[in-house]
Structure 1
Amino acid sequence: MAVIRPFKSIRPISELASKVAALPYDVMNSEEARKMTKGNPHSFLHIDRAEIDLDPSIDVHDKKVYEKARDNLNKMLDDGDYIQDINPCLYIYRQIMDGRSQTGIVFCASIDDYLKGVIKKHEFTRKDKEEDRINHVDYCDANTGPIFLTYNEDQLASEIIEAWIENESKRKPLYNFVSEDGITHIVWAIDNDIIIDEIIDLFKEIDCLYIADGHHRAASAVKVGLKRRKENPNYTGKEEFNYFLAVAFPDNDLMVMDYNRVVRDLNGLTKYELFEKLEDKFYISDAPTTEPFKPYKKHMFGMYLEHRWYVLEAKKETFNEEDPILSLDVSILQENILHPILGIEDVRTSDRIDFIGGIRGLKELERRANTDMKIAFSMYPTEVRDIMRVADIGEVMPPKSTWFEPKLRSGLFIHKLK
């Protein structure tokens, strides 16, 4: 049973929404954030990456950065850039990318659901990244970026949810704008208590929610909630710090893009020695055209080497279809090429490999392989149900397995912890 509840969102005034909305803090570095916010004092990155308003030499984990984030948030509130809804609401958040839409419900999720495993994870988190967001949430006294959740649409009376969404989306939206990357963002408020209660009851019928993106934000929000509980031993469980900001989309709405690999060298092998080793585990053929090869089914890979594309198809002995992890294409590549042939034991720490999200296109693989790298692999995208299978057995996905698009924008919803 998943527990969700409405909240009084702090959100930008309508005329500033497009200027406030920003990509998640962790998809860019400080230098990129400074460039992205040039000439835009309203960008939410002034809160999410507040170091951009301080001297470039500052440590991004310095206390002054979190204080600046808090001060910037308070200033935007004082200046009237933000308002707070009077009554608790749920919200509908629709994104349209290349004619394809995904529509989610914005709510507050329970930290207890996270602790009990009702909200399931599929990634490890790093302590330093957790500490950064813990401090950010604690100083701002708010969840400033929504956690991207999904659910198995087959488990929910989705036709009822869809009917409510269809009904509510006929009303005038709070926001309707196109961001700089061409993605449309539309937001409606659900302020009818009858509809809110109906949606809350529907979510009680599903077994679990899955984190699609935002593992560090989720872990940090939960740890801040536990910290507040310790500071308030007489807490009732109804306080806002017992909940965190989230958006849940049905799994059938989501698109996972390919997450491709480029490697710096051939680990001392010649091209012919490489092919000889590959033939043990893969069927190899020339790509049908000179254009970048995009795999069109599972267990198929594109390989770019010395200005030519090849097609690799994994032989049956390279994977176990019954194993949620070993059946993944990222596992097949790692266990049969990257580690045993190219000598990359740990993709998390090796400086000989890099990862390129599908949003950047396969021409970027060619560019990298022709400049600072040697060989590139194009991947078939991981499917959402694959992520669920791994999370259901309490395991984690291999590193750099998923690239969700479009990215949720931060700044459209803020959940205060008091």
Structure 2
Amino acid sequence: MAKIIPFKAVRPTRDKVSLLAARSYDSYTALQVESRLRDNPFSFLHIVNPGYKYQKEISGEERYGLVKNRYQEFKEDGIFIQDEKPSLYIYKIVNRDGLEFSGIVAAASVQDYENDLIKRHEDTLEFREQIFKEYLKTVGFNAESVLLTYPDNLELEGIINAVMQRRPEYEFTTTYRDTHYVWNVDDEALLQKIQKIYSEMPALYIADGHHRSASSYLLAKDLKEENPHHTGEEAYNFFMSYLIPESNLKIYEFNRLVKDLNGLEKQEFLIKLDEYFRIENRGMEYYKPSKLHHFSMYLDGEFYSLYLRKAKYEIKNALDALDTHILFMTILKPLLGIEDLRNDQRIEYSHGKKDLAYVKTAVDSGNFAVGFGLLPVTTEEMKMIADEGLKMPPKSTYIEPKLRSGVTIYEF
């Protein structure tokens, strides 16, 4: 039932790909951005930060137009080429920790998104959807794939492994010490076979990229209304995606840091926690939860384990059973007064790759009063929430792999 299609990717020449490929813009510090823009004229960051040419901060519609201009200049200068035949792209990453991810870059259907064949587990912010929709409408391309996942499929795995026996079109290692490999697949018989396998899957799941997929859907609605000859096969009816099997996802937790105890004294806070949790003081032991509904807390120089009192908390659906939701419903909202997890300035998030030492340091610095550590969400939990039409709290998952921007570009 899921529809994916090959496309003619715009992509860097083989000799430039390692110089051009960039992480997501907001993953760099200001100093890192400055050094890359200064020292690397081929970086994709020059396209998404076009004001650097004029040493000026540019935003809004003016920036969108300049992004399009920079992109066209890269094409005119031969830094980008476009494939002559529609292709799917096998993409493999071996990251700095030795983890391997292999999947397929393809164009996924906005119709499937609308019909809930591409399922989502996170809420999106309407203003961000609209901003990114207008950006896409002006620039006319996707440079960053939405991460989609599906149940492991042995036939598809065999095809991917067979293709990866060939010499890749790209093989490059980044300064971040991740190695990337890309293979083109343009054989029509093989393309049809891959598409048929996906068409027999009842659903795909968004792992990362909820705002990107929502914005692509909104853009398609706009362009459909503007096109009296709309057929449903136009390029704007699809968005670039990276599809990998569920077993290939790596999901990390997002730990929580809160700046104050909402006017409560330490002992008063602990007594209130006791209603919902069995509490044990672990002292300086780095306690990391190992079971569902167990939490770590760092407060006033000491770690605590918090075990949910199941008799006190009713679980009626998949969301109720999710640890990030339990933490919100039992501690963050009623005790610490945090109702808006996206916008409240008193809470910050730290993904699990930074571990509990980061949480401890942040609290010890005096910038935060308390930190909470959680277990990572599982793929099954994520799917159950999506299947029930529910939405996780924000910052429930930090998911790898993270593709580089600009390696394959989808035009519409």
TM-score by length of 2: 0.94
Whether 1:68 aligns to 2:57 is no
| Identical columns (%) | 36
Give the secondary structure class of the aligned counterpart of 1:196.
helix
Count residues in correspondence.
410
CA deviation string 1:288-340 (max 9, x = no partner): x8353322222111111122212112121354455110100001111111112
Is the contact made by 2:341 and 2:393 (CA closer than 8 Å) also made in structure 1? no
Whether 1:357 aligns to 2:351 is yes
Give the secondary structure class of the aligned counterpart of 1:66.
helix
Give the secondary structure class of the aligned counterpart of 1:256.
strand
Match of 1:130 in 2: 129
CA distance in structure 1 between the partners assigned to 2:274 and 2:360 by the alignment: 23
Is the contact made by 2:105 and 2:241 (CA closer than 8 Å) also made in structure 1? yes
Match of 1:9 in 2: 9
Higher deviation after alignment, 256-265 or 88-97: 88-97
- The one-letter code matched in structure 1 to 2:145 is P
What is the CA-CA distance between 1:354 and the residue it aligns to? Answer: 0.7
Match of 2:317 in 1: 323
What is the CA-CA distance between 1:55 and the residue it aligns to? Answer: 4.6
Match of 2:257 in 1: 262
- The one-letter code matched in structure 1 to 2:355 is G
- The one-letter code matched in structure 1 to 2:94 is I
Distance 1:319 1:249, change over 3 A: farther
Distance 1:302 1:2, change over 3 A: same
CA distance in structure 2 between the partners assigned to 1:27 and 1:394 by the alignment: 30
Q: 2:202 aligns with which of 201, 207, 217?
A: 207
CA distance in structure 2 between the partners assigned to 1:406 and 1:182 by the alignment: 14
Give the secondary structure class of the aligned counterpart of 1:172.
coil
Match of 1:395 in 2: 390
Higher deviation after alignment, 382-391 or 18-27: 18-27
- Equivalences for residues 203-282 of structure 1 within 5 A: 203-282=198-277
Is the contact made by 2:325 and 2:392 (CA closer than 8 Å) also made in structure 1? no
- The one-letter code matched in structure 2 to 1:12 is P
CA distance in structure 1 between the partners assigned to 2:411 and 2:150 by the alignment: 25
Distance 1:391 1:49, change over 3 A: farther
CA deviation string 1:2-29 (max 9, x = no partner): 0011011111112222222222245458
The root-mean-square deviation of aligned C-alpha atoms, in Å, is 2.0
- The one-letter code matched in structure 1 to 2:138 is Y
Whether 1:162 aligns to 2:157 is yes
Q: 1:347 aligns with which of 341, 347, 370?
A: 341
Is the contact made by 1:48 and 1:144 (CA closer than 8 Å) also made in structure 2? no
CA distance in structure 2 between the partners assigned to 1:342 and 1:56 by the alignment: 41
Is the contact made by 1:69 and 1:136 (CA closer than 8 Å) also made in structure 2? no
- The one-letter code matched in structure 2 to 1:130 is E
Give the secondary structure class of the aligned counterpart of 1:41.
coil
Whether 1:197 aligns to 2:197 is no
Whether 1:94 aligns to 2:92 is yes
Whether 1:311 aligns to 2:305 is yes
CA deviation string 1:100-148 (max 9, x = no partner): 2121111111111111111112222223322322222222211221111
CA distance in structure 1 between the partners assigned to 2:321 and 2:22 by the alignment: 35
Higher deviation after alignment, 12-21 or 37-46: 37-46
CA distance in structure 2 between the partners assigned to 1:328 and 1:321 by the alignment: 9
Q: 2:284 aligns with which of 284, 290, 296?
A: 290
CA distance in structure 2 between the partners assigned to 1:140 and 1:4 by the alignment: 23
What is the CA-CA distance between 1:53 and the residue it aligns to? Answer: 4.3
Match of 2:20 in 1: 20
- The one-letter code matched in structure 2 to 1:377 is F
Is the contact made by 1:183 and 1:406 (CA closer than 8 Å) also made in structure 2? no
Higher deviation after alignment, 307-316 or 200-209: 307-316
Match of 1:335 in 2: 329
CA deviation string 1:214-267 (max 9, x = no partner): 111111112222222222211222221221111111111101101010011112
Match of 2:42 in 1: 42
Distance 1:291 1:70, change over 3 A: farther
Match of 1:150 in 2: 149
Is the contact made by 1:318 and 1:336 (CA closer than 8 Å) also made in structure 2? no
What is the CA-CA distance between 1:32 and the residue it aligns to? Answer: 6.2
Match of 2:376 in 1: 381
Higher deviation after alignment, 243-252 or 127-136: 127-136
Is the contact made by 2:119 and 2:205 (CA closer than 8 Å) also made in structure 1? yes
Is the contact made by 1:30 and 1:52 (CA closer than 8 Å) also made in structure 2? no
Gaps of 5+ in 1: none
- The one-letter code matched in structure 1 to 2:240 is L
Is the contact made by 1:30 and 1:51 (CA closer than 8 Å) also made in structure 2? no
CA distance in structure 1 between the partners assigned to 2:26 and 2:221 by the alignment: 24
CA distance in structure 1 between the partners assigned to 2:311 and 2:193 by the alignment: 49
Match of 1:120 in 2: 119
Match of 2:83 in 1: 85
Give the secondary structure class of the aligned counterpart of 1:361.
helix
CA distance in structure 2 between the partners assigned to 1:304 and 1:416 by the alignment: 48
Give the secondary structure class of the aligned counterpart of 1:14.
coil
Distance 1:312 1:232, change over 3 A: same
Is the contact made by 1:122 and 1:396 (CA closer than 8 Å) also made in structure 2? yes
TM-score by length of 1: 0.92
- The one-letter code matched in structure 1 to 2:238 is Y
CA distance in structure 2 between the partners assigned to 1:166 and 1:330 by the alignment: 36
